[in-house]
Amino acid sequence: MTGAARRARLAAARLYLVVGEASCRGPWEAAVARALASGAVDLVQLREKALDDAAFVARAARLRALLPPDGPLLVLNDRVHLVAACGADGVHVGEDDCPPEEARRRLGDDLLVGVSTHDAAEVAAAPRRGADHAGLGPCFPSRTKALARRPAGAALVAACLPAATVPVFPIGGITPDNVATLVAAGASRAAVGAGILGADDPAAAARAIADRLAGTGRRAGTAGV
């Protein structure tokens, strides 16, 4: 797949599923399969910080086996050096990971690079740093990740999305119950882990979030919304 094709799919994406075993209620493969059965997931990120490289590649292979043909794009959390081995479509890097400039240099133009952002200046700088999409957070408290910053919810989304020129996915503690507050602030995308995979019915949770996100249209001139 070309970079243009990947970015076209990225531009149309709303729901980004972040897969980590700690986020799942019950066996992770069953939870992911149920979420994917919703038909609402556009991107999938594999996030397993504790696995060594060999185990991570094996986990990625099991995850890829769950993805339908022409289904969601697969992104790795960090692990730039494993993109080829995992057959992934790109990476997401946080502030303590490989810099996005370096990830872009190593991956070239045909693969995706996402970056974590926390304020409007970082959102605006994302494309200059080599990223073609961004996560924005934290929005709400998370039960699966220690947070270095206080969650800022809808106020963060409202303050940052006007600065975006690439797709931006609010992230952090998002659930079917609270995503509407982000939509009211202008969001039409979200990255979600436990809010889907830890739900009693992951498919229903994914559909509910996607339906709420679809309730707001993209505003002219705001590619990150």
Q: What is the pLDDT of residues 54-68, one digit of tens each?
A: 999 999 999 999 999
How far is Cα 219 from Cα 225, in angstroms, rounded to an integer? 7
**Per-residue pLDDT, 145:** 62
Nearest residue to 187 (alpha-carbon basis) of 134, 113, 114, 125? 134
**pLDDT 10s digits, 103-157:** 999 999 999 999 999 999 999 999 999 999 999 999 999 776 666 678 989 999 9
Nearest residue to 155 (alpha-carbon basis) of 185, 187, 191? 185
Q: Kindly list the structural domains of the chain, giving each domain's residue range(s) and its CATH number in brackets, ordered by start.
A: 3-213 (3.20.20.70)
Average pLDDT over residues 152-169: 97
Whether pLDDT at 221 is above 60? no
Whether pLDDT at 71 is above 80? yes
**pLDDT 10s digits, 203-217:** 999 999 999 999 844
How far is Cα 8 from Cα 224, in angstroms, rounded to an integer? 14
Residue entry with tokens 């970082």: 122
How far is Cα 224 from Cα 11, in angstroms, rounded to an integer? 9
Bridge partners for 77 per DSSP: 92
